[in-house]
Amino acid sequence: MANAAPTLGPVIRDEVIPVAEYLGLELHAGQTLRIIDLEGKQVPDFVCFNLHNVRERLSTNNSRLIQKRWLLTTGHALYSDEGNVMLRITADTVGIHHASAGCCNEFANFLRYGEHGTRNCLDNMAMAAAPIGITTKEIPGAFCPFMKVISHPDGRYEIQEPDSRAGDYLDLTAEMDLFVAISNCPQDKNPCNGFHPTPLGIVVFDAAVG
């Protein structure tokens, strides 16, 4: 995979998640996961679990509350539901990500768009996490790199097309051993992927620099 981003150490995984598909992987403490927007304006949905105790899982709510921020970027952490740091953002070329714990799902897609059976991030993440015994009901709220959501003074919020361009990336360095489930968001009925889902790049480095 060609990209201009710096190499952090030995590459132990380098692959592409096709449009609307998913990936589950182990990420060990000290390793860095790089999520690359290969063509621009593509959002992944991301959850993770303590590899040694899968009942401990990502909490975007804790991540916001503990850091008193709704916008997370370089230097900020993703916390678990037990208040432990799971990952730290160590590089970020976009700076806008969605951490409200939402994700597209069968039920919401039907209510919003009147269609049953659409591919969605909740089902994708459940399939990705199935090897560790996680069911759909056990998927926590997702962190959504590159997703752009703005709030209006009257209380409404609006999904807009991402600012990410081809080659933009987010680095997440693990602070505990994790199982990570990633959905390459299939949504094409709102602007979250620019109405045109595209592939995502995934690189895992064996150790973080610094």
Give the mean model confidence (pLDDT) for residues 138-158: 94
Query: Has residue 159 been placed in a domain?
Result: yes
**Residue 140's pLDDT band (boundaries 50, 70, 90)?**
very high
C-alpha 125/C-alpha 139 separation (Å) is 7
Query: Has residue 91 been placed in a domain?
Result: yes
Give the mean model confidence (pLDDT) for residues 136-152: 95
- Give the Cβ contact number of residue 176 at 10 Å: 19
pLDDT at residue 108 above 70? Answer: yes
**Residue 111: what pLDDT?**
86
Percent pLDDT > 90 in the chain is 84
Tell me which residue range forms the domain holding 176.
11-205
**Residue 157: what pLDDT?**
87
Query: Has residue 4 been placed in a domain?
Result: no
Residue with tokens 């806008």: 96
Sequence-distant (6+) residues with CB within 8 A of 142 are 45, 46, 47, 58, 60, 101, 102, 103, 121, 125, 183
Query: Has residue 101 been placed in a domain?
Result: yes
**Residue 87: what pLDDT?**
98
**Residue 2's pLDDT band (boundaries 50, 70, 90)?**
very low
Sequence-distant (6+) residues with CB within 8 A of 107 are none
> Among 91-95, 150-154, 175-179, which is the least confidently predicted range?
150-154
Helix (H) and strand (E) counts in the chain: 3, 12
Give the mean model confidence (pLDDT) for residues 144-165: 94
Query: Has residue 5 been placed in a domain?
Result: no
Give the mean model confidence (pLDDT) for residues 141-159: 93
The pair of three-digit structure tokens given for residue 48, joined into one six-digit string: 């993770």
Percent pLDDT > 70 in the chain is 97
Residue closest to 51 by CA, chosen among 203, 174, 145: 174
Q: For the chain, how many structural domains are there in total?
A: 1
Query: What pTM does this model have?
Result: 0.93
**Residue 1's pLDDT band (boundaries 50, 70, 90)?**
very low
**Residue 4's pLDDT band (boundaries 50, 70, 90)?**
low
Give the mean model confidence (pLDDT) for residues 199-210: 83
Query: Has residue 187 been placed in a domain?
Result: yes
Query: Has residue 6 been placed in a domain?
Result: no
